[in-house]
Structure 1
């Protein structure tokens, strides 16, 4: 019975013609099934040029401009508008494999296009060997471009390196293209386990993502084996389950016992960075004692980003997001004793319900309220979360996933605006955030919400999902 189920699963799984040693693979089982994703990208592109379908689909092929929403244009190129396409990105170039309805039409259109790309070769002359027809030409801009064709399968390629000197990558990609058209692709069970009409694989990170959408929603679901996250417990009751999501980021998690130390270690490392004068052995000792007294139920809230924070320093980046973390404890009295050594740290002040640690750039607050410990970098946010968790019902509420999160895209857009060009000049790590704010800020400001979940999977992997929602009407 098990073998029958496995065989049925593999039979239904997508079968990409993926190049070996690819850094990223994009596979679309049916080009005509992208209407939903195209509709979302079309609406999103009204506020972010980067999201426009033409921008993404232009990358699907090395020398043809494909538009899956126009099947007649694909047919005119000899490409099956109901067939698959697989794009493999490698350090030396890319390979794109398609199914054909008219091989002669494909060759004619390819000859016309390739003739405009050749440097010294203006006439495209295919060669045939072992039943495979191929073309390999130099480009005026450097590198080489061409295709391999057998029957109704074609794999086109382009190499990016070498300039006007042939670095051999063109020949490597040609051989790969010949190999790909010469054999039937194998079904990929990882893709078959995920919903979607478009799949992205990043083999080096063990990540596979499936995407689908509508005019107002983009949904992705995937698995990854190398996320820097702890192990999580199976879905169940959380003391924070009934809380209403608020803030820039709101997330509940049920960390597995084996992952609690890792999660606490991340908090410890952040505090140690903003308090370098705090004895590392004392901070680590408190962290270990705290980890031993946690149930694994955690709440993370990022309320907002401060206006005009100093992002060019470690402490400035730490205090820029106004945030707090709450964790359920097994024994309040034992946790109070575990936190007591904090009073001896430099800059520590005793509070009625915990401690305040004054460091360069701000203050870290550690509060204990009933069976919850709260750590925050903003007094107002920490006090608010402490008050909320203190009033929670004892029974909590169940959640279908180990982790769930909600992002307010409007607050996120405002937060990204705080990253300036001068911040990027001083701290290159902020470049990605600046680019996201510049390119996607207007789209985020006009989005409804982003929600998602995450679970642990076998072998240390994680499964995750996210839903990006736009207003119902433009």
Structure 2
């Protein structure tokens, strides 16, 4: 029954026509069902030009303007707005495949554009019509049409590869993409690393998908989490249930952080502590970032670490065994014993390691660490997903704004944050909330969902 249901789902939406050697695929099962998504993009575009449909609609077709906010405008181009659109982005150019309901109107509209550079070549062989013209930039643009299927192309050079690929696409049935069939959406973006399905309304954007290379451990839903009843606060609030096979990976990340902020710490001692802790962790974890306060150059790893005021809580099996596992911390440089744990001197700040009942709490800020300790509930509550998170978009905008132009020089990661601040910062500052979840998926991949909500009134 499950196989039949999946097959029916895949058959319900038109399959993408994807060219060989494609780097990124954009697929719209029905062009006339984009209104909800474009309503969000139009509103968001008032604060972020990158999201404005007017900024990216030119990427939907090599030479025709397809307006996603006005599906009826496709009638003049002879394109069926109730049909699919598939865009294949390759290193050597781009192809867009559409269904046409008026072949003559499509050919006339295309010819009017392509003829501007002259030297138009057209021909029909075995029911397949091809038209090609130079772009004026050393490449070629054109289309191939058979019946109601048309694939247009633009190449970066004079090679015939894209025209031949377009011919193949209109002469054979497309293959369904099981990844797209597994996630909801009215627009899909797919690469070798995963797929995202997007949908929206005037007040919200929903993104759901799968990814194969997220730098995260495997997760496993356990139903009830000791942190399930806690109310989300701060910039980021995330509750996770890490699978047993991922606990060592999580503690390995802690060890990597220790090497960054405590270069004088003995690696063997640190490894001994984290290995002992890994045996005591249940996999239930809480990660909270209250805010971002940058003090110094973000090009320094320790400044990056201490900029985010954060704390991690983890449920343990045996508090006494954890207390014993932490005892070697007294031998590390600058370590001080607390009533319920330790504080460690680190490069750029202090790290707090504390124990409350069956909860180990590690933080880089005393106030945030204490806040997490105080808010730990006595009883757990169910989690619908293995990982649930909440982002405060306004605090995120303030955090991103602290990445300076000087910080981005020579650092691609910081450059990305700076770009996000410039392009998305104003929109984040006007947003209401961002929530989401993650689960593990087969073959080491992850399933994810993000909901971005704007206020009811602009």
Using the size of structure 2 for normalisation, the TM-score is 0.97
Shift of 1:3: 5.5
8 Å contact from structure 2 (residues 119, 133) kept in 1: no
Moved >4 Å (runs of 4+) = none
8 Å contact from structure 1 (residues 14, 192) kept in 2: no
CA distance in 2, matches of 1:412, 1:10: 38
Partner in structure 2 of residue 400 of structure 1: 384
8 Å contact from structure 2 (residues 119, 134) kept in 1: no
Shift of 1:2: 5.6
Partner in structure 2 of residue 295 of structure 1: 282
Partner in structure 1 of residue 69 of structure 2: 69
Out of 426, 429, 434, the position equivalent to 2:418 is 434
Cα 1:186–1:282, aligned 2, differ >3 Å: closer, same or farther?
same
Partner in structure 2 of residue 191 of structure 1: 180
8 Å contact from structure 1 (residues 12, 192) kept in 2: no
Shift of 1:458: 2.5
Alignment root-mean-square deviation, CA: 1.5
CA distance in 2, matches of 1:235, 1:19: 42
Out of 436, 439, 444, the position equivalent to 1:455 is 439
CA distance in 1, matches of 2:406, 2:7: 57
Matched, 1:154 2:143: no
Partner in structure 1 of residue 259 of structure 2: 272
Partner in structure 1 of residue 138 of structure 2: 142
8 Å contact from structure 2 (residues 287, 311) kept in 1: yes
What is the total number of aligned residue pairs between the two structures? 458
Cα 1:25–1:345, aligned 2, differ >3 Å: closer, same or farther?
same
Partner in structure 1 of residue 189 of structure 2: 200
Secondary structure of 1:126's aligned partner? strand
CA distance in 2, matches of 1:456, 1:66: 37
Secondary structure of 1:228's aligned partner? coil
CA distance in 1, matches of 2:36, 2:3: 34
CA distance in 2, matches of 1:212, 1:404: 20
Shift of 1:186: 2.2
Q: How does 1:213-252 map to 2 (within 5 A)?
A: 213-252=200-239
8 Å contact from structure 2 (residues 53, 68) kept in 1: no
8 Å contact from structure 1 (residues 25, 88) kept in 2: yes
8 Å contact from structure 1 (residues 365, 382) kept in 2: yes
Q: How does 1:254-333 map to 2 (within 5 A)?
A: 254-333=241-320
CA distance in 2, matches of 1:255, 1:151: 52
Partner in structure 2 of residue 56 of structure 1: 56
Deviations 1:81-118 (A, max 9, x none): 111100111111111100101111111111111123x3
Secondary structure of 1:46's aligned partner? coil
Q: How does 1:362-441 map to 2 (within 5 A)?
A: 362-389=349-376, 392-393=377-378, 395-441=379-425
Secondary structure of 2:457's aligned partner? coil
Secondary structure of 2:27's aligned partner? strand
Secondary structure of 1:58's aligned partner? helix
Relative to structure 2, which stretch is displaced further, 312-321 or 27-36?
312-321
Which structure 2 residue ranges, 5 or more long, are not aligned?
none
Matched, 1:443 2:432: no
CA distance in 2, matches of 1:3, 1:399: 28
8 Å contact from structure 2 (residues 294, 304) kept in 1: no
CA distance in 2, matches of 1:373, 1:268: 15
Cα 1:348–1:426, aligned 2, differ >3 Å: closer, same or farther?
farther
Partner in structure 1 of residue 339 of structure 2: 352
CA distance in 2, matches of 1:183, 1:271: 56
Relative to structure 2, which stretch is displaced further, 210-219 or 51-60?
51-60
Deviations 1:181-208 (A, max 9, x none): 11121222322221111111112x1x11
Using the size of structure 1 for normalisation, the TM-score is 0.93
Secondary structure of 2:305's aligned partner? helix
Shift of 1:383: 1.8
Partner in structure 2 of residue 176 of structure 1: 165
CA distance in 2, matches of 1:344, 1:434: 40
Secondary structure of 2:121's aligned partner? coil
CA distance in 1, matches of 2:254, 2:173: 50
Shift of 1:245: 0.2
Shift of 1:64: 1.1
Secondary structure of 2:59's aligned partner? coil
8 Å contact from structure 1 (residues 13, 189) kept in 2: no
8 Å contact from structure 1 (residues 95, 156) kept in 2: yes
8 Å contact from structure 2 (residues 217, 249) kept in 1: yes
CA distance in 2, matches of 1:112, 1:290: 69
CA distance in 2, matches of 1:263, 1:234: 16
8 Å contact from structure 1 (residues 210, 222) kept in 2: yes
